[in-house]
Structure 1
Amino acid sequence: MKTSTSEFIALRGHQYHCRHWGDPTAPMIFMVHGWMDVGASFQFVVDSLKADWHVIAPDMRGFGLTNGPTTDAYWFPDYLADLDALLQHYSPDAAINLVGHSMGGNVVGLYAGIRPERIAKLVILEGFGLPTTKPTQAPARYKKWLDELREKPEMRTYASAAEVAKRLQKTNPRLNDERAAFLAQHWSRENASGQWEILGDPAHKLSSPILYRVEEVMACWEAVTAPVLWVEADDTAIWSWIGGKEKGRPETDRRLTHFKQLKTELVLDAGHMLHHDQPQALAKLIEDFVGLPKAV
């Protein structure tokens, strides 16, 4: 494995944890993880990159080693503001190569349309978004959120890091023992009671009271000026989350028409966590797309 270092920076009232790989003077790739994941999750992709890169992957607020606010709700605009501050900190002048997976894919897709001048190349991994909503759903959605607030959400704990690894493999059977053991060490930590707790604020489990307004998302996508690489896994679980493939495929294709410069790729023998399942294939796709900074 390539060696990484941790850095904590003060950012928007938080101590943000960022993981770095490579020479700080090398060309940068910035990677944003998905829901209930951490920056270290990109280790296997970084290991597979051929060129010399400075890869930075933060733990987004309320995940990993980045503490969340004292709150019972997380708002998507805060992820955008955090990313804006992170990029201003690490690359205030130069446009960057930006990669996002799942929830992180949604974050980077929105951000690239909000500040298009900041992005050199954009890579979205399984960043499908959520099902289309209607305003008539608002009363029930707000009620659901209010009902959930009455009971404090909790995360399950595990007796050991090995149990955490087994839980990861249950969710993703493609995950081998070595990778599962590595992820467990970054995805959880031992608490004062000797139990291993997941490094994610339980508040993330609450339903969002805000409906997913797809046309607003598409307006941001239309404003993206950077070339976009859209990557899906052939065995993705996304379809079950967005109403099935029969409805999800044409809706996804409709959404993708809003990007001006789009290249699509399919990674075989991979599920939603394609950066764990096929890191070498994914690393090649990323480097072929953003371009190698020098001969390797």
Structure 2
Amino acid sequence: MQRENDRFYLTGLLSELKLAVPWGHIAVKVWGSQKNPPVLCLHGWLDNANSFDRLIPLLPQDFHYVAMDFGGHGLSSHYNPGFPYCHQNFVSEVQRVVTAFKWTRFSLLGHSFGGTVGGMYACIFPEMVDKLILLDSTPFLLDSNEMEHIPLYRRRNIEHMLQVEASQKPPKVSSPEEVLQRTLNNNSHLSKECGELLLQRGTTQVATGLVLNRDRRLSSPENSFDFVSKEMFVHLTRNLQANVLLIKATEGYYDVRRANDEKKEPLFFMVDTLNTILKERFQLVKVPGNHYVHMNKPHVVAGTISSFLESQPRTSSLL
């Protein structure tokens, strides 16, 4: 392993692992010694573990970083037919990874959707998480006038799943240029370089081009997010034992439905609630950049994350 100023190079990547689960495997990337305090990294919706390739080399080298692909994403197995994707299942995947590594306490680093999964995990298993880092994310997805739409979201998710399973169409084959352009069109905050990085893990080469690895049953994120009311947000926050760092990108997203981005009141309520309940255990840091700042400009967030990880208390992964 090469080192410079106690920071990783990508040569510090120890291994690619496949952790067995009932429907196949969960794919993970591992940096650093398993003797060091563990940090589990959770990617955003339809992204994959490569989300952290440019950030982790800039973080302190005396930690054990594990970046997982959620089910149906990256190199992880797709769920079995008839088994739906929902928020609770993604939360349970975190516990499967934790059990496989035999961790008793660890830190969570989540971007976007990964932050909401990590936040819910830290609430359900509060004794397991010492630090929760949210990258342009929230610990729970606060109701942004979406409660009335939840039945429609659930219906769409079921209908889409049944439609994909019934069609049995082969995966669409596209040229590398076409796949990249679609990715950038769907992720306006993603740079070309970072789009290519995600597609390295998010596609498979076939004879005539590339096919996307992700499960086609994964549809709009609002179909699989768990929205919570203000009252439930308060209740869930009270259950958190972790220290929480929220890094908010100034040009990032404010709502899972981009049309609601101008409505920042939910963010103000969330920050006020976290401040009031967690007190000194909560930090909010605003950084210049967009929703993918941790990929596009990782140096902008690396120092803040490093300081937070290195602050007390620091715990080991095993008792």
TM-score w.r.t. the length of structure 1 is 0.84
Match of 1:266 in 2: 286
- 1:288 and 1:64 map into 2 onto residues whose CA distance is 30
Corresponding residue to 1:185 among 196, 200, 205: 200
- 2:184 and 2:122 map into 1 onto residues whose CA distance is 33
- 1:10 and 1:104 map into 2 onto residues whose CA distance is 21
- 2:306 and 2:178 map into 1 onto residues whose CA distance is 35
User: CA-to-partner distance for each residue in 1:143-171, whole Å, 9 max, x for gaps?
Assistant: 444554563288754212x5434444443
Match of 1:99 in 2: 109
Counterpart amino acid of residue 242 in structure 2: A
2:17 alignment partner, SS class:
strand
Match of 2:307 in 1: 288
- 1:148 and 1:265 map into 2 onto residues whose CA distance is 38
1:88 alignment partner, SS class:
helix
Task: Tell me which moved more, 5-14 or 38-47.
Answer: 5-14
1:68 alignment partner, SS class:
coil
- Deviation of 1:272 (Å): 1.0
User: CA-to-partner distance for each residue in 1:124-159, whole Å, 9 max, x for gaps?
Assistant: 112243643566545544544455456328875421
Say whether 1:2 aligns with 2:3.
no
Match of 1:202 in 2: 216
- 1:135 and 1:180 map into 2 onto residues whose CA distance is 33
Match of 2:136 in 1: 126
Matched ranges for 1:161-180 at <5 A: 162-170=177-185, 171-172=187-188, 175-177=191-193, 179-180=194-195
Matched ranges for 1:26-41 at <5 A: 26-41=36-51
- Deviation of 1:62 (Å): 0.8
- 1:210 and 1:50 map into 2 onto residues whose CA distance is 32
CA RMSD of aligned residues (A): 2.8
- Gaps of at least 5 residues in structure 2 are 1-8, 315-319
Question: Aligned pair count?
Answer: 287
Q: Percent identity?
A: 20
Corresponding residue to 1:277 among 279, 296, 306: 296
- Deviation of 1:52 (Å): 3.0
Match of 1:75 in 2: 86
- Deviation of 1:212 (Å): 2.1
Matched ranges for 1:215-234 at <5 A: 215-234=231-250
- Deviation of 1:117 (Å): 0.8
- Deviation of 1:226 (Å): 1.3
Would you say the 8 A contact 1:235–1:272 is kept in 2?
A: yes
- 1:173 and 1:125 map into 2 onto residues whose CA distance is 14
- Deviation of 1:241 (Å): 2.2
Would you say the 8 A contact 1:133–1:213 is kept in 2?
A: no
Would you say the 8 A contact 1:267–1:278 is kept in 2?
A: no
TM-score w.r.t. the length of structure 2 is 0.79
- Gaps of at least 5 residues in structure 1 are none
Would you say the 8 A contact 1:37–1:64 is kept in 2?
A: yes
